Amino acid sequence: MDLRFTPEERAFREEVRGFFKENLPEDIRRKMVDGHHPSKQDIVTWQRILNRKGWAVPNWPVEWGGTGWDPVRQYIFLDELQSFPAPSPLQFGVYMVGPVIAQFGSQEQKQRFLPRIANLDDWWCQGFSEPGAGSDLASLKTKAVREGDHYVVNGQKTWTTLAQHADWIFCLVRTDSSVKKQEGITFLLIDMKTPGITVRPIQTLDGGHEVNEVFFDDVKVPVENRVGQENKGWDYAKFLLGNERTNIARVGVSKQRIRRLKELAAIERVGDVPLIETPRFAEKLAALEIELKALEMTQLRVVAAERTREKGKPDPASSILKIKGSEIQQATTELLLDVVGPYALPYLPEDEAADHGSNEPPIGPDWAGPAAPTYFNWRKISIYGGSNEIQKNIIAKAILGL
């Protein structure tokens, strides 16, 4: 038992950090530090920088651009990426549909889609949730009927993140209503330019436009865009969600947020004393750091165990990572609210300011703007990816056997 990283692993971390320092454009890094969303162009720019380095899709099979790093190096890479902070790759391509196509797709699908995902030539979004299918995802109703060499899709998806930018959507659709609900689902890849698709924005509490409703009205999808077999889509979805969960603690994100909190709490004063030196705040912060340290150790335990686990079979303990990871990320936003104090109040939607190149001076400290929007927006973290209550059901059933 040796919980230190090996000299090789430490050298790898330095290499990754060095590359980020050299190659991440400063304006993008600044935006991330200040707690703003990177733009579509920022994410594309960064993904292509990573792709030229060969680090666009580290988790994929080597023949499709994966790096072949062991789980510890995969972890170090993401930890550095998140804590640097650099934009995370677009999840829907790199961590979701990419691995599914690489594992279950046809050779033709792999050649057609994978390189374009790695270079972010195609922007993907995820068509899983529906108005009537949230935690009970398998009850989804969007229907695909086979007609000759294509399917005709009708229905609605919702909470579709960044669909407004998307070129493609991967969808779970119902192809058989006569069997058990999990057994009649098919996994389709759908071109967003296909006639009959409508995207309608949903505004979130922060005022941002991040999620959408997507409507399908007699949308024709060629059969060649089906992944794997008809009615086996649920298996592929479980594989996808398992991959999603290993990356869900976002320890690096919380580390960076805590570093930033410390900087700001040292600037902000309560009378003559920096906020960070007031005992109540200092102890709240220390308590959060302890929780995060514990989570980091738990994450490392899961990563270390991954070396001997069958691929595609996530550790049920990763439910802990989702629950604690989301709670801690949310707690960082709560503490930032404490730091900005009354300057949480002004509401200056980020999208408008960015779109119109606003040069109005900020109200209050220039770093206060994102605090409240992020607090409101990040309530999503304990809801998406299997809500924390669903994660507790998983722990109770898969680990405790209840």
Q: Going by C-beta distance under 8 Å and a sequence separation of 6 or more, which residues neighbour residue 201?
A: 164, 209, 211, 212
Amino acid at residue number 321 = L
**Which of 78, 249, 295, 368: binder of another protein (CB under 8 A)?**
295
Nearer to another protein, 228 or 385 (CB): 385
Q: How far apart are CA 77 and CA 68, in angstroms?
A: 12
Q: How far apart are CA 345 and CA 342, in angstroms?
A: 6
11 binding another protein? (CB under 8 A) = no
324 binding another protein? (CB under 8 A) = yes
User: In the bound complex, what is the minimum distance in angstroms from residue 368's beta carbon to another protein?
Assistant: 22
Where in 378-397 is the site for another protein (CB under 8 A)?
389, 391-393, 395-397
Active site residue 244: yes
Q: How far apart are CA 398 and CA 339, in angstroms?
A: 40
Stretch that binds another protein, among 197-205, 222-230, 235-243, 254-262 (CB under 8 A): 254-262
348 binding another protein? (CB under 8 A) = no
Q: Do residues 79 and 70 touch, judged by C-beta distance below 8 A?
A: no
Pick from 248, 260, 219: nearest CA to 83: 260
Pick from 216, 75, 96, 80: nearest CA to 161: 96
Give the pair of three-digit tokens for residue 89.
Answer: 């790759």
Beta strands 226-227 and 209-222 are unpaired
294 binding another protein? (CB under 8 A) = yes
400 burial via Cβ count (<10 Å: 0-12, 13-18, 19+): exposed
Q: How far apart are CA 257 and CA 108, in angstroms?
A: 42
326 binding another protein? (CB under 8 A) = no
202 binding another protein? (CB under 8 A) = no
User: In the bound complex, what is the minimum distance in angstroms from residue 126's beta carbon to another protein?
Assistant: 27
Stretch that binds another protein, among 12-20, 94-102, 183-191, 255-263 (CB under 8 A): 255-263
User: In the bound complex, what is the minimum distance in angstroms from residue 134's beta carbon to another protein?
Assistant: 17
Q: Would you give the DSSP letter of residue 64?
A: G
Show which residues are catalytic: 244
Positions touching another protein (CB under 8 A) are 1-6, 9, 72, 255, 258-259, 262, 279, 282-283, 285-287, 289-295, 297-298, 300-301, 304-305, 317, 320, 323-324, 389, 391-393, 395-397, 399-402
